[in-house]
């Protein structure tokens, strides 16, 4: 069958002509496949920017699996959501008529567990892994206990197939067998594994994952999809936090054990926190200089490492006791011990800060704050056979490669899959959320811009602001009263379930008059949500989400300036904000067929400095308009009478 592939990027790779499983190939797919093959013949590193919806998954799989340089190499495809991971398996199934490759998607241990204690009482991946080992060691997991014999039969039946985590989970639940353990036993026979970033990035999880794969890092080709998430995720994983509440709970836990030494250690650490935070104002944070924290810990506890190890040991006993008694299996002693070991393990390292702050409720908090994602990304990106980082928002590519530690990568900005007539990108003149310009009249002008977008848009409208302060400023300036459609506001403290319900209701208005969703850039609805079709016909970006001044920000900029002279403020301050802006701006264009308007209510976006951080398909089409022209341009675009 004629594949429809044309000469050009793929002219040097004829094997891709027969491997690509669809009748037609889009230009950006051809560019990406060719770039993968070219990179594998060089440094083995690629950073590629390509919009969501262009068909990156199948293009990456074709490029990697057809490469002679990767013959026999395992492919680990990391992404953000279960749907994206399952998509890898779906594409492998479509490819199987040309090239049959066994593969599977994984979910975290908590999502793949049937035990009610683990599902109910754990949150993080490390916590779930630890409780799992305790339950198995104590013989208190019936699902693991049934694996002998029956489990091998199931593994044999699944081997050599393309399997999603959901399919595996449902079958294991029917059989009463541990889905996580079955998936672990299947891993050695899988050529492609789709999983969360955590499996490779988290140092507490990676060794176990590699053992299950029966592979070393050097034997893997790794894809980080939605890779704009990588820097912030790595920084979050490398950081640690300790609250007064954990210390008080740790003291109670130790008293219940009758462990006076552990109780004294928690009490001493509580005194350290209280002393360091004394005199601090609510919402204020202070960077602890030199070895101030270590000195205080040494005075009260005798040393961070020794105290941390002792509290971890006490926490293990507390956890076992709770498991045996059927109580909630959580240990605050372990949390305090982990924090102390992180303090010890990062002592003297300039890429980590020690910060004490006081929350708005008056509660003091201690943090070991990572500044550099490379403490976690570099070992992986340097250790693997090949690495691809891709997303719709990685510009500038050189800066992204620097920040995550990609050495000498091939760089690609894929062509836009969106026809020019499907994209309207506008900047409204005379508006900005710059601090000194935030007047009542400025907010009213921004509200008028949003109302013009609402009146001219046939379906739903998304409005994402630079901060909750800006969001509240719009509401105070009369946004809700001026709208003719239902307004759904992202709440700062709402649960995931409540937020998901609100977003589902918002989407339901797409075909019945439209609604408006108001949220913040960098928030869950601007980063994780997809709104194809009429679910978001227009997206409005109010301001640029620059971080407010703080000691933490100041030290972050200083650190990056030391690493990359002349670029500290760009890497530590500007680019994180520009990436959040670009992510939110791309919410409405998720499929090549999507036709939507992107309206920026901040004239700074039109400057070359900001515009070059936007995806090319958006930045190249950006136009400035006056307030009176905005509605006319939107009506022409949407064909509104």
Mean pLDDT of 564-589: 94
What is the rounded CA–CA span in Å between residue 88 and residue 57? 6
Higher per-residue confidence, 207 vs 121: 207
Is residue 1 scored above 60 in pLDDT? Answer: no
Is residue 324 scored above 80 in pLDDT? Answer: no
Report pLDDT digits (tens) over 219-247: 999 999 999 999 999 999 999 999 999 99
Is residue 5 scored above 50 in pLDDT? Answer: no
Contacts of 38 (CB under 8 A, 6+ apart): 410
Contacts of 354 (CB under 8 A, 6+ apart): 287, 288, 292, 293, 343, 366, 367, 368, 369
Q: What are the strands of the beta sheet with 103-105, ordered from one edge?
A: 162-163, 103-105, 192-196, 74-79, 220-224, 386-391, 45-49, 410-413
Report pLDDT digits (tens) over 373-424: 999 999 999 999 999 999 989 999 999 999 999 999 999 999 888 888 999 9
Q: Where are the domains of the chain?
A: 240-370, 420-638
Q: Three-state SS string across 221-271, please?
A: EEEECCHHHHHHHHHHHHCEEEEHHHHHHHHHHHHHHCCHHHHHHHHHHHH
Whether the Cβ atoms of residue 222 and residue 200 lie closer than 8 Å to each other: yes
- Determine the topology of domain 240-370 in CATH: Fumarase C; Chain B, domain 1 (1.10.275)
What is the rounded CA–CA span in Å between residue 541 and residue 117? 43
Is residue 325 scored above 80 in pLDDT? Answer: no
Return the pLDDT at 123.
62
Return the pLDDT at 476.
96
What is the rounded CA–CA span in Å between residue 285 and residue 393? 31
**Residue 122 confidence class, pLDDT cut points 50, 70, 90:** low
User: At 538, phi and psi to the nearest 5?
Assistant: -135, 145
Whether the Cβ atoms of residue 347 and residue 294 lie closer than 8 Å to each other: yes
Is residue 110 scored above 90 in pLDDT? Answer: no
**Residue 6 confidence class, pLDDT cut points 50, 70, 90:** very low
Return the pLDDT at 641.
66
Is residue 569 scored above 50 in pLDDT? Answer: yes
**Residue 126 confidence class, pLDDT cut points 50, 70, 90:** low
Q: Flag the least confident range among 496-505, 509-518, 528-537.
A: 528-537
623 Rama class: left (phi>0) / alpha (psi -120 to 50) / beta: beta
Mean pLDDT of 247-274: 95
Task: Report how far apart, in Å, the C-alpha atoms of 423 and of each of 61, 307, 637 are.
Answer: 29, 59, 9
Return the pLDDT at 121.
67
Is residue 328 scored above 80 in pLDDT? Answer: no
**Percentage of the chain lying above the pLDDT 70 cut:** 96
Q: Three-state SS string across 312-340, please?
A: HHHHHHHHHHHHHHCCCCCCHHHHHHHHH
DSSP 3-state of 22: coil
CA 492 to chain centre: 19
Strand 487-489 to 423-428 pairing: unpaired
**Residue 116 confidence class, pLDDT cut points 50, 70, 90:** confident
Q: Three-state SS string across 80-118, please?
A: CCHHHHHHHHHHHHHHCCCCCCCEEECCCCCCCCCCHHH
Is residue 119 scored above 70 in pLDDT? Answer: no
Task: Report how far apart, in Å, the C-alpha atoms of 588 and of each of 52, 245, 446, 606, 634 are.
Answer: 10, 41, 20, 20, 15
Higher per-residue confidence, 565 vs 118: 565
DSSP 3-state of 610: helix
Residue-level length of the chain: 641
Is residue 131 scored above 80 in pLDDT? Answer: no
Say what the alpha-carbon torsion angle 190, 192, 196, 200 is, to the nearest 10 degrees. Answer: 80
Mean pLDDT of 488-515: 90
Is residue 4 scored above 50 in pLDDT? Answer: no
- DSSP secondary-structure letter at 349? -
Strand 45-49 to 74-79 pairing: unpaired
Return the pLDDT at 2.
36
Is residue 337 scored above 70 in pLDDT? Answer: yes
**Percentage of the chain lying above the pLDDT 90 cut:** 68
Is residue 7 scored above 60 in pLDDT? Answer: no
Contacts of 628 (CB under 8 A, 6+ apart): none
Mean pLDDT of 481-495: 92
Domain 420-638 listed as CATH 3.40.50.300: yes
Q: Flag the least confident range among 32-41, 44-53, 176-185, 390-399.
A: 176-185
Whether the Cβ atoms of residue 217 and residue 383 lie closer than 8 Å to each other: yes
Return the pLDDT at 371.
97
Mean pLDDT of the chain: 90
């Amino acid at each position: 069958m004629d594949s429809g592939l044309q000469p050009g990027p793929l002219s040097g790779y004829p094997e891709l002509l027969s491997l690509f499983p669809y009748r037609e190939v889009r230009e950006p797919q051809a560019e990406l496949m060719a770039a993968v093959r070219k990179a594998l013949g060089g440094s083995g590193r690629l950073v590629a920017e390509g919009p969501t919806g262009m068909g990156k998954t199948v293009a990456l799989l074709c490029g990697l699996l057809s490469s002679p340089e990767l013959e026999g190499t395992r492919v680990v495809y990391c992404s953000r959501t279960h749907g994206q991971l399952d998509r890898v398996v779906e594409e492998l199934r479509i490819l199987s008529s040309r090239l049959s490759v066994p593969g599977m998607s994984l979910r975290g241990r908590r999502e793949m567990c049937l035990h009610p204690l683990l599902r109910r009482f754990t949150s993080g991946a490390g916590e779930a892994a630890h409780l799992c080992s305790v339950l198995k060691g104590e013989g208190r997991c019936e699902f693991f206990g049934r694996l002998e014999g029956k489990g091998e039969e199931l593994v044999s039946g699944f081997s050599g197939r393309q399997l999603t985590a959901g399919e595996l989970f449902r079958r294991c639940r029917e059989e009463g067998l541990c889905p996580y353990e079955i998936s672990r036993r299947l891993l050695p026979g899988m050529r492609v594994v789709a999983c969360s970033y955590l499996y490779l990035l988290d140092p507490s999880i990676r060794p176990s994952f590699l053992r299950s794969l029966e592979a070393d890092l050097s034997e893997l080709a790794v894809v980080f999809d939605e890779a704009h998430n990588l820097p912030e995720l790595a920084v979050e994983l490398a950081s640690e936090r300790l609250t007064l509440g954990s210390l008080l709970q740790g003291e109670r836990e130790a008293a219940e054990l009758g462990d006076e030494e552990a109780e004294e250690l928690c009490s001493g650490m509580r005194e350290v926190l209280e002393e360091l935070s004394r005199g601090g104002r609510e919402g204020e944070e202070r960077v602890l200089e030199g070895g101030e924290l270590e000195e205080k810990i040494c005075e009260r506890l005798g040393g961070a490492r020794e105290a941390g190890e002792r509290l971890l040991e006490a926490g293990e006993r507390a956890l076992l006791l709770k498991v045996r008694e059927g109580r909630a299996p959580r240990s605050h002693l372990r949390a305090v011990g982990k924090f102390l070991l992180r303090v010890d393990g990062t002592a003297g390292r300039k890429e980590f800060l020690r910060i004490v702050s006081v929350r708005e409720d008056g509660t003091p908090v201690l943090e070991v704050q990572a500044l550099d994602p490379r403490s976690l990304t570099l070992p992986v990106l340097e250790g693997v056979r090949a690495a691809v980082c891709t997303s719709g928002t990685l510009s500038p590519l050189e800066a992204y490669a620097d920040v995550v530690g990609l050495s000498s990568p091939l760089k690609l900005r894929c062509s836009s899959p969106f026809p020019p007539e499907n994209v309207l990108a506008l900047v409204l003149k005379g508006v900005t959320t710059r601090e000194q310009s935030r007047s009542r009249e400025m907010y009213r002008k921004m509200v008028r811009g949003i109302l013009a977008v609402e009146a001219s848009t046939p379906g739903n409208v998304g409005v994402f602001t630079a901060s909750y302060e800006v969001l509240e400023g719009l509401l105070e300036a009369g946004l809700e009263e001026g709208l003719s459609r239902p307004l759904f506001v992202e709440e700062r403290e709402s649960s995931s379930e409540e937020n998901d319900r609100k977003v589902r209701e918002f989407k339901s208005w797409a075909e019945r008059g439209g609604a408006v969703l108001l949220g913040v850039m960098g928030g869950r609805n601007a980063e994780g949500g997809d709104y194809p079709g009429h679910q978001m016909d227009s997206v409005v970006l109010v301001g640029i989400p620059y971080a407010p001044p703080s000691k933490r920000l100041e030290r972050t900029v200083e650190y990056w300036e030391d690493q990359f002279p002349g670029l500290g403020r760009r890497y530590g301050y500007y680019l994180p904000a520009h990436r959040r802006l670009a992510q939110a701006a791309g919410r409405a264009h998720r499929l090549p067929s999507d036709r939507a308007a992107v309206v920026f209510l901040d004239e700074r976006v039109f400057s070359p400095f900001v515009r070059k951080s936007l995806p090319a398909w958006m930045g190249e089409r950006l136009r400035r308009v006056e307030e009176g022209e905005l509605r006319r341009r939107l009506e022409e675009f949407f064909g509104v009478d």
